[in-house]
Amino acid sequence: MLTTRKSCFGLLTIATVAFVLAGGTAKVRSQVIFNFNYGTGANTTVVNTSLPIAASTGLATLTTNYVANTVFNFVGTPTNALGSDVAGASLGLQNGVSMTNPNGNLTNRYLQYAFSSSGLSGLRFSTAIRHSPSAASQITLSYSLDGTNFTSIVGPNLATNSTGSNFVANSVLLPHELDNAPTAFLRMNFAGAIANTFNSFVILDNTRVSVASVPSPSALLPFVLGLPLLMMKLHKCRQVSS
């Protein structure tokens, strides 16, 4: 009788481990990364950036309605970098006269990231950021599934803790509406600049969209197919043990 009970306990243990392992395959992480280390890498020379920008890892593109002569390369940072990515370069956005309204306040400017999240869920946006006090005082996120109609994301103002010379890592959990989207659009919106000079800037580096895989049917298939046999075995165990 004791041997039978041990056998039944063994079956339950095996079933539990199999289910955990099958679900565990759904936790593999994937990354979309813009490290901005194009060109000469650690580039301290102000150079116009080629737009649109392709992701350094993953399939994604970055576009902007900043005018070309206000988008530059600056020296980068290891903050929020992944793995062996070097500090390299960063993406600088300067206000400039052409970027402002008559009151000198930066308005309706954005960076737009387009990527696929097909088969993926649990998206998180993160970036290293620093900006001058006279640059955008409000940096927020919005999302879209069609690239036209955008919805604001309720979350932190990314400009709040990033004023100064040091990069600060910011992270925002994205809405579930962006899960499993053939094409997802994410915007960083900039507003509230109080100067229209080229000494007023926002600098970004190591922008990442992190995603977790949705449990794949193929990963759970062996467990599902073996479930009827397992239930029969467990039922037999209960009959014998009773």
| pLDDT, tens only, 85-118 | 888 889 988 875 544 444 444 567 899 999 999 9
Average pLDDT, the chain: 76
> pLDDT higher for 108 or 129?
129
One-character DSSP codes across 45-81:
S--BPPSSEE-SBSSEEEEESS-GGGEEEEE--STT-
pLDDT at 216 over 60: no
Residue 103 has what pLDDT? 46
**Structure tokens of 114?**
């387009």
The least confident of 60-64, 204-208, 224-228 is 224-228
% of residues, the chain, pLDDT over 90: 34
pLDDT at 12 over 50: no
Domain ranges of the chain: 25-215
Q: Is the pLDDT higher at 229 or at 67? A: 67
Q: Taking each helix axis from N to C terminus, what angle separates 217-241 and 2-24, rounded to the nearest 10 degrees?
A: 170
The pTM for the full model equals 0.72
How far lies 89's CA from each of 75, 207, 227, in Å?
Answer: 5, 12, 53
Which is more confident, 145 or 228? 145
Rounded-to-integer distance, Cα 240 and Cα 155, Å = 58
- At 14-35, the pLDDT tens digits run 544 444 444 444 454 668 999 9
First-to-last alpha carbon distance for the chain, in angstroms, is 9
Higher pLDDT, 94 or 174: 174
Query: What's the whole-number mean pLDDT along residues 56-81?
Result: 86
Q: Class of the 25-215 domain?
A: mainly beta
pLDDT at 219 > cutoff 70: no
Say if residues 235 and 143 touch (Cβ distance below 8 Å).
no
Evaluate if residue 230 carries a pLDDT over 60.
no
